[in-house]
Amino acid sequence: MIIKNIAMLLVVVLILEILLPGCSAPSRSLKEKQRWYAFEYELMNTRERNSLVFVNEYLKASFSVDDTTITVLISNMMNQSLYLHYQRAMIGINNKYYPVGFIENEFFVPTSLTIPKNGSADTRIAPFRTLQNKKLQSLFKTADNADPITRKEILKQYGGSLTLILPMTINGKEVEQTFVLKIKKIRSSITQENLTRIGKKKDHESNKTFLPMVIVAAVTGSVLFLFSNNQKPPK
């Protein structure tokens, strides 16, 4: 009788597993997913609002910023050469300053760069501290790892600044040109579609352990049920 009751209990569990898989399968929570953030910048010392282009009578500088690097295209507006002294340039991240490193085929510390008259030079740079181990690091923290505290810290970076101090020689005189880029917008880089896709993958992984449990329960229940029916009642 006891064996029969156990068999019936396993059969009931099996039926519940089939009809209500959500009760036994681990529920997925979108809150557990790592969220990435992207930043939009504006150049502060420019004549146009919401622009990443600086222009004066000597040069034109266009900027683009990704998670790890700053790309600057400098055009010489003069009829003589423009000398950029990158070996003494600094990048400031929220007022903490670091030497500049060039990023091309390999990482290295730059020297002076000469731009001929009416010429231009496109350079991709980063704080040299991020290049020492041959691996780029984020200029600002970009992932919250599902940690609400970290998420708040990232959102507080709104208004944070990147500063490029670039010494240059113009008309035989050395000047320090300062470019300030401020974060004007922070947006999440994970869409709802991506979260759903990640959730489905998680469900698929949980089903890998859930399905064998159902099979074991079914086989065990069937064996015990048949065994109990074959037992002869006592005389």
Residue 209 in any domain: the answer is: no
Residue 228 in any domain: the answer is: no
Q: What is the pLDDT of residue 10?
A: 55
Residue 11 in any domain: the answer is: no
Within 10 A of 198 (CB to CB), how many other CB atoms are there? 16
Residue 222 in any domain: the answer is: no
Residue 103 in any domain: the answer is: yes
Residue 105 in any domain: the answer is: yes
Q: Using CA atoms, how far apart are residues 74 and 109, in angstroms rounded to an integer?
A: 19
Angle among Cα 66, 72, 75 to the nearest 5 degrees reads 155
Which tens digit of pLDDT belongs to each residue from 40-81? 999 997 777 768 999 999 999 999 999 999 999 999 999 999
The range of the structural domain enclosing residue 79 comes to 36-193
CATH number for position 137 = 2.60.40
For 11, the token pair is 């059969």
Question: What is the reported pTM?
Answer: 0.65
Q: What is the pLDDT of residue 9?
A: 57
The count of structural domains within the chain is 1
Q: What is the pLDDT of residue 55?
A: 93
Q: What is the pLDDT of residue 8?
A: 60
Strands (E), 128-232: 161-170, 173-188
Parallel/antiparallel/unpaired status of strands 82-85 and 90-93: unpaired
Q: What is the pLDDT of residue 89?
A: 94
Which tens digit of pLDDT belongs to each residue from 96-130? 999 988 887 566 767 889 999 999 999 999 887 76
Mean pLDDT (whole number) for 176-193: 81
| Helix/strand/coil for 151 | helix
Helix spans in 95-191 (H): 148-155
Q: Contact, 67 vs 60, CB < 8 A? A: no
Which tens digit of pLDDT belongs to each residue from 201-222? 445 555 555 555 555 555 555 5
Q: Contact, 124 vs 69, CB < 8 A? A: yes
Residue 181 in any domain: the answer is: yes
Q: Which of 182, 174, 170 is nearest to 74 (CA)?
A: 170
Strands (E), 94-172: 96-103, 107-108, 112-115, 120-127, 161-170
Residue 125 in any domain: the answer is: yes
Q: Using CA atoms, how far apart are residues 40 and 72, in angstroms rounded to an integer?
A: 16
Percent of the chain with pLDDT over 90: 39
